[in-house]
Amino acid sequence: MNIQISDNFNYSKLIKFTIPSIIMMIVTSVYGVVDGLFVSNYVGKNAFTSLNLVMPFISIFSAFSFMMGIGGCALVAKFLGEGKKEKANEVFSMIITVLIIGAIFFAAFGIVFIESIAVMLGATPELLADCVTYATIMFIALPGFMLQTTFQTFAVVADKPNMGLSLSILSGISNVVLDFLFMAVFEWGIAGAAWATGISQMMGGFIPLIYFVSKRNVSRLKLVKFKWDLRSLLTSAINGSSEMMSTISLSLVSMLYNLQLMKFFGVNGVSAYGIIMYGAFIFVGVFIGYTIGVSPIISYHYGADNKPELKSLLKKSVVLMMGAAVVLTVVAEVCAPTLAKVFVGYDAELLQLSTTAFRIYSLSYLVSNLNIFASAFFTALNNGFVSALISFLRTLVLQAIMIMVLPYIIGVNGIWFAVLFAEIECLIATIFLFKANRKRYGYY
């Protein structure tokens, strides 16, 4: 690809540059989807519920990699835009080092406390063993997963978006093959699902680590010796605080969802929510993939003080995101019965519940795309506070309130409408924040 983040972008060039990141996110999302698919059909409903109970807790720790990866990308791309290549490489190297240290610590913490946490999350004696088994293996693989998510974002800054895409495809195919081998052939149960995903994630994390260290690396970025720069580290953390907040909030909200669903629907409710999340991984992954692709471009032109290009990027991004949202919502509504049947076709009652829930939840895609982009846009402008505020509102505060309140106002289906109501309320705040900051950044 001859397109670079320093270019001026029309619609065609913007789509071509971001497509690898979008596909990369979709492929990455296949990890959870494939695990859930195989566990549900080869191990059973209880194992499927166990996986969905502990996954939000595991996901909390990946928030650190999103914070340092996306926040660090904004700062590194800004340095490149300012012509400070050596500084960019030093900050990049420091972030990867901090990430590895943090990943090892989080993995150890998770392994030690997973059993007590699983009980707190609602695991019954019948579910506890599967919860502990799956989570323990996933924590062993956590350093690989955190490196993978971080290198996927930095690959775009390095003008190597296809590298991240290729690694995602390789990891995704490996996950599918190993899932079939470990569960369908070897019959390892839920442990097979965890090892399949864990091995695939480690491949996706350690291969790019070797590349960025090697002499064959011809990209913009290299892992080099560095001096500790706490100011840049703090700036990266603040820049990426919205992504960290978003990930943590989504995990906490998922836990809250599961507790409420166990109350209203029992095991079937948690299973239905799991199916919704697998669908959301893919559909929302399109929006997130686009923001990963476009954010370094925004950061570069912000660093270069190219305000006309900032205006153009904002306008084009809103148009593209809205167009994608309409298409994806229609696809989700039409395909809801089929997607639910793939997971739980063996249970008629659960199939009906999952289809209804999926269709209601999917309406939120019409609004969430703008809030997701807005948060990423302010991260790219190195404004971590506004970005975090948007994420905090949409993924935690407003959703938590709606989850607790709506079922008692409009009935049990209110729990599936919670995200739509929360996204609409957040969009109002997002529009206000864009207007309040327009003079500072000159984006319109």
| Residue positions counted in the chain | 444
Given CA atoms 164, 166, 167, 171 in this order, what sign does their dihedral have? positive
Q: Whole-angstrom Cα distance, residue 31 to residue 178?
A: 11
Average pLDDT, the chain: 90
Please, is 384 exposed, middle or buried when counting C-beta atoms within 10 Å of its C-beta (0-12, 13-18, 19+)?
Answer: buried
Report the C-alpha dihedral over residues 96, 291, 33, 179, rounded to 10 degrees: -40
Tokens representing 329 are: 């919502």
Whether pLDDT at 31 is above 70: no
DSSP 180-238: IIIIIIS--THHHHHHHHHHHHHHHHHHHHHHHHSTT--SS---------HHHHHHHHH
- pTM listed for this prediction: 0.74
pLDDT band at 158 (very low <50, low <70, confident <90, very high): confident
Residue 1 pLDDT more than 60?
Answer: no
Taking residues 302-321, what's their average pLDDT? 93
Which pLDDT value is given to residue 220? 87
d(CA 303, CA 81): 5
Mean pLDDT lowest for which of 54-63, 180-189, 323-332?
Answer: 54-63
CA distance 296 to 154: 9
Nearest to 357 by CA among 311, 306, 419, 405: 419
Domain segments of the chain: what residues? 11-441
| pLDDT tens readout for residues 239-257 | 887 778 778 887 888 888 8
- pLDDT of 441 higher than 70: yes
Q: Which of 423, 344, 374, 438 is nearest to 45 (CA)?
A: 344
